[in-house]
Chains A and B, each alone.
Chain A
Amino acid sequence: MRALIRFGIAALILLAIYGLEFGVEAAFTEYVQRIILLAGINVILAVGLNLINGTTGQFSIGHAGFMAVGAYGAAFVGVKLAPPVHGALGSGPLADAVVFNVALLVGALFAGISGLIVGMPSLRLRGDYLAVVTLGFGEIIRILFNNATFLGSATGYSGDDPSGLPAYTNFFWVFAWATAIVTLIHNLTFSQTGRSLTAIREDEIAAEAMATPTTRLKVTAFAISAATAGVAGGLFAHMQAGVRPEDFRFERSIDMIVMIIVGGLGSISGAILGGIFVAVSLELMRDLQQYRLVLYALLLIVIMIVRPEGLLGTRELHHLLRRKKTAKPATPTESA
């Protein structure tokens, strides 16, 4: 029964996203649609990064690397998987959906495994080692792809077809994935695991003294975070004709950090707002592209002065709304 209700809700949400897609396609120019897709991808990136940087308090500054692994992984698998799947299922939308989603999952898996490899040595220690290691990882991955001839080296990977990668990414898939990832990470954050991750952020020594398996939890959270960046990378790759190493420079990691700091470190709704903010502001600043790091630095300084906890702090929008509702009638404090 319960499973049935949940299945129904999921189906309804997917249907709503599917319906919205038609609305968006009718109402907006392709340019605006592209920004909307980028905003959706940013939401995935921000919510994933917030799990490790915000909730767990372990700072990663190289998440573009995991996005790159996911992008290249999904692009490569998508290209290689298409012929056999098309052979078996014909070349309709069903076959495309299968190829695309399997490719995204494999990309996420690759990114998650890279996360394990990076996280296992650097998260065993307390302190800021993760920041240093992820900074290095982001650059190493980019340079690796820059030199991998079977992935097109510096010109990037665009598959075997001269027309480039198939444009699988559309409104439906971006927002279906975004909804799924936000839901899963929300559930994780507000669970015993999430409490333990927050405890690690608040006081790692106390968390250990309370039998929290800190290393295992940190590494797990980091791998999940890396895998979500991988999904975002796969969606990003299939928005364009090819993936290029320069799409995943250090600036992209900074963009992601700006998303979660603007919204409020540790808040999922904040990360969502921050992701949308960065997508829009990057477009508005398009002519100032080379100054964007300067502008972001300025923005971060202003935030630090005016509102150091970000837009929402560690709060969640739906919790704030709920509190307002329950706060009105003067109910006696809970005690049992």
Chain B
Amino acid sequence: MSLLELRAVDKIFGGLHAVRGVSFQVEKGAIFGLIGPNGAGKTTLFNVITGVYTPEHGQILFEGRNIAGLKPALIAERGVARTFQNIRIFRTMTVAENVMVAGHHLHKASIADAMLRTRSYERDEQALTKRAQELLEVLGLAELAHEVAGSLPYGSQRRLEIARGLMLSPQLLLLDEPAAGMNSQEARTLNEQIRFLRDQLGLTVILVEHNMAVVMNVCETIHVVDHGETIAQGTPAEIKSHPKVLAAYLGEEQPGNQALA
């Protein structure tokens, strides 16, 4: 059984068929790339998977159960974490606090416990702080734990979003353009971090990315969408030379073009 399976998913906004009959399977432990030109429906697919949108048709099976139409918080609780294309960190909070927000499942103490600062509250708080610190170390942000998140450089904010997502102890991590705005050095570090997440933390990763150096390097399977429809799926080598992909990106078929290399 695949960890995530989309079956003929449709998402329609008024007259716009943003996603049309998209199906794919993501195996456990995969690093799966989702690419396509601007406006192809990649982020819409992420929003459908994470419950921000309810698909009009189709099923989204996570660990074999249909999650289509569930509330985002519930899907997150089941183990689907994500980052956002246009960074959505909690800007006025510190880096550590940002990560701790996602630690609900580690913090069982009630509101009354919090108000009265009981022992169980303090125990949970300590566990949460410790876990947040560990995750910040994984992403190389430990030194910045007490900085205000909004003051971080762009690349660090992106990594903070990943750390925050990891706090959910997810099975599946959806990264929406994690390399956007990163320089090539930062992008290389990102490649290593994504592999680390899969190899060391056992995560399955789905990646939406325009930076082809990252996608081709780190993904094992790539799924290409254009105008909301699947046009190809395959290994990086297959996708690089796929005529439909080249057509979608360049507007015409030009065998041997190096734009995607």
Question: For the complex, what is the distance from the CA of A214 to the CA of B115, rounded to whole Å?
Answer: 19
Within 8 A of A (CB), among B55-83: 71-74, 76-77, 81-82
Q: List 6 A-B contacts (CB under 8 A).
A: A191-B114, A191-B125, A193-B111, A203-B90, A210-B101, A213-B104
List B contacts of A213 (CB < 8 A).
73, 104
Query: Distance in Å from the Cβ of A212 to the closest Cβ of chain B?
Result: 6
List B contacts of A206 (CB < 8 A).
84, 88-90
Residue of B nearest to A210 (CB): B102
List A contacts of B34 (CB < 8 A).
none
Query: Distance in Å from the Cβ of B71 to the closest Cβ of chain A?
Result: 7
Query: Distance in Å from the Cβ of A8 to the closest Cβ of chain B?
Result: 15
**Given A202-B91, A206-B90: 6 more A-B contacts, CB < 8 Å:** A184-B115, A185-B115, A192-B103, A198-B92, A202-B93, A212-B73
List B contacts of A205 (CB < 8 A).
52, 72, 84, 88
Residue of B nearest to A184 (CB): B115
Knowing A210-B164, A213-B73, say if A333 contacts B143 (CB, 8 Å). Answer: yes
Question: For the complex, what is the distance from the CA of A220 to the CA of B114, rounded to whole Å?
Answer: 13
Does A187 count as interface, using CB distance less than 8 angstroms? yes
Query: Distance in Å from the Cβ of A209 to the closest Cβ of chain B?
Result: 5
Is B76 in contact with A188, judged by CB distance below 8 angstroms?
Answer: no
List A contacts of B168 (CB < 8 A).
210-211
Task: Give 9 closest A-B pairs by Cβ, nearest first.
Answer: A191-B114, A206-B88, A211-B76, A202-B90, A210-B102, A208-B72, A192-B107, A184-B115, A199-B101
List B contacts of A187 (CB < 8 A).
114-117
Chain A at the B interface: SS class: helix
Query: Distance in Å from the Cβ of B163 to the closest Cβ of chain A?
Result: 11
Does B167 count as interface, using CB distance less than 8 angstroms? yes
Residue of B nearest to A203 (CB): B88
Count how many pairs of residues, one from A and one from B, have CB atoms less than 8 Å apart in the complex: 104
Is B143 in contact with A192, judged by CB distance below 8 angstroms?
Answer: no
Within 8 A of B (CB), among A255-295: none
Residue of A nearest to B97 (CB): A195
Q: What's the tally of chain B residues with a CB closer than 8 Å to chain A?
A: 45
Is B143 in contact with A335, judged by CB distance below 8 angstroms?
Answer: yes
Residue of B nearest to A216 (CB): B73
List A contacts of B117 (CB < 8 A).
187
List A contacts of B102 (CB < 8 A).
210-212
Query: Distance in Å from the Cβ of A286 to the closest Cβ of chain B?
Result: 37
Knowing A199-B90, A202-B91, say if A336 contacts B133 (CB, 8 Å). Answer: yes
Does A153 count as interface, using CB distance less than 8 angstroms? no
Question: For the complex, what is the distance from the CA of A285 to the CA of B163, rounded to whole Å?
Answer: 52
Knowing A199-B90, A199-B101, A206-B88, say if A192 contacts B128 (CB, 8 Å). Answer: yes
List B contacts of A208 (CB < 8 A).
71-73, 76
Does A334 count as interface, using CB distance less than 8 angstroms? yes
Question: For the complex, what is the distance from the CA of A214 to the CA of B116, rounded to whole Å?
Answer: 22
List A contacts of B74 (CB < 8 A).
211
Q: What's the tally of chain A residues with a CB closer than 8 Å to chain B?
A: 31
Residue of B nearest to A183 (CB): B115
Question: For the complex, what is the distance from the CA of A192 to the CA of B93, rounded to whole Å?
Answer: 12
Is A334 in contact with B103, judged by CB distance below 8 angstroms?
Answer: no
Does B138 count as interface, using CB distance less than 8 angstroms? no
- Mark B residues whose CB is within 8 Å of A: 50, 52, 71-74, 76-77, 81-82, 84, 88-93, 97, 100-105, 107, 109, 111, 114-117, 119, 121, 124-125, 128, 133, 142-143, 145-146, 164-165, 167-168
List B contacts of A207 (CB < 8 A).
90, 101
Question: For the complex, what is the distance from the CA of A198 to the CA of B128, rounded to whole Å?
Answer: 17
List A contacts of B143 (CB < 8 A).
333, 335
Question: For the complex, what is the distance from the CA of A209 to the CA of B102, rounded to whole Å?
Answer: 9
Is A192 in contact with B114, judged by CB distance below 8 angstroms?
Answer: yes
List B contacts of A188 (CB < 8 A).
111, 114-115
Is A198 in contact with B73, judged by CB distance below 8 angstroms?
Answer: no
Query: Distance in Å from the Cβ of B76 to the closest Cβ of chain A?
Result: 4
Is A211 in contact with B77, judged by CB distance below 8 angstroms?
Answer: yes
Contact of B50 among A203, A209, A335 (CB under 8 A): A209
Question: For the complex, what is the distance from the CA of A166 to the CA of B133, rounded to whole Å?
Answer: 55
Query: Distance in Å from the Cβ of A172 to the closest Cβ of chain B?
Result: 22
List A contacts of B125 (CB < 8 A).
191-192
List B contacts of A314 (CB < 8 A).
92
Does A196 count as interface, using CB distance less than 8 angstroms? yes
Residue of A194, A208, A334 with most chain B CB atoms under a 10 A cut-off: A208
Is A335 in contact with B142, judged by CB distance below 8 angstroms?
Answer: yes
Query: Distance in Å from the Cβ of B55 to the closest Cβ of chain A?
Result: 17
Residue of A nearest to B111 (CB): A193
Residue of A nearest to B109 (CB): A192
Query: Distance in Å from the Cβ of A322 to the closest Cβ of chain B?
Result: 12
Question: For the complex, what is the distance from the CA of A209 to the CA of B165, rounded to whole Å?
Answer: 9
- Report A308-328 CB contacts with B as 1/0, cut-off 8 Å: 000000100000000000000
Question: For the complex, what is the distance from the CA of A336 to the CA of B102, rounded to whole Å?
Answer: 21
Question: For the complex, what is the distance from the CA of A191 to the CA of B71, rounded to whole Å?
Answer: 25
List B contacts of A196 (CB < 8 A).
101, 104
Within 8 A of B (CB), among A174-232: 184-185, 187-188, 191-196, 198-199, 202-203, 205-214, 220
